[in-house]
Chain A
Amino acid sequence: MTNRFAPGTFSPDPRPATVPRMLAAQFGLELKLLLRNGEQLLLTMFIPITLLIGLVLLPIGSSFGTNRVATFVPAIMALAVISTAFTGQAIAVAFDRRYGALKRLGATALPVWGIITGKSLAVVTVVFLQSILLGAIGFALGWRPSAAGLLLGAVIIALGTAVFAALGLLLGGTLKAELVLAIANLLWFVFAGLGALTLGAGMVPPGAEWAARLTPSGALTEALSHAMTLSVDWFGIAVLVAWGAFGSIAALRWFRFT
């Protein structure tokens, strides 16, 4: 057989790249895919921003206190975390599996933890961008948190991101893509509702409010609202840690590459 390839073209030299280089490439593409996806942007940026502006500016009465922006910025930040780490992540992972991306990467020199790390770093980056953007809009609307409150808030956002990412990987890594698409979007509304229940000072029956605080989104919304006003919601943190542990253990147990 004649051959168009010069001798030595394919001489073996299978040295892997350094781990930082692999991770940088992995993170770069994952981030690009998140930021390029229109539906993801709708969910992670457009809807939270619209909700925040609408809830602060529209005449919806005074039930949420005189400083509505201080009530809604943490709540919407919590929802934005859920959009990115849970709903967006679950759907992306499910379709990656459907198209064999994870198995494909599982056959390369990239360590398995590198796949997870790349995805996680991309999610963390988007959550960071969301928080800055929502914070800036809140500031423009009159939100004035303390520096310590912001710091405490960042810790809670980090915790919430980890918890919802674990739950997102669990959902996206176990079911069929179409099912994940439906369930992840449905749960976004459920989580939004449960988060809102924790805000309803006086309007929501105490039983319902406590039930909401036992869910991951209720716990995150409550803990983040507390943090921004410099108090620590240990109960919410404990609930988040419990959900995070459940999500991680179940994901490790049942996550499938294909």
Chain B
Amino acid sequence: MCLAVPGRVESIEESTAVVDVGGATVRVRLDLCPDATTGEWVLVHAGFALERVDEEYARETLALFAEMDALKAGLGEETP
């Protein structure tokens, strides 16, 4: 129910955006995310853009892993 899927904003007209969600084109309201711009990624939920998201999902995950390793080193955890 709280599922939201990422899509890329193709164009914007007034408060509605055309968003590419995995190859499908959907019309999405921008009431809750008025700052979205063309080319950005947004999370789409129930026909509304819910939030802008970082385009590079994978890169973010990589960054978090790197951070985690740094954290681990900082805490001086023993390695298994």
Q: Do A and B bind each other?
A: no
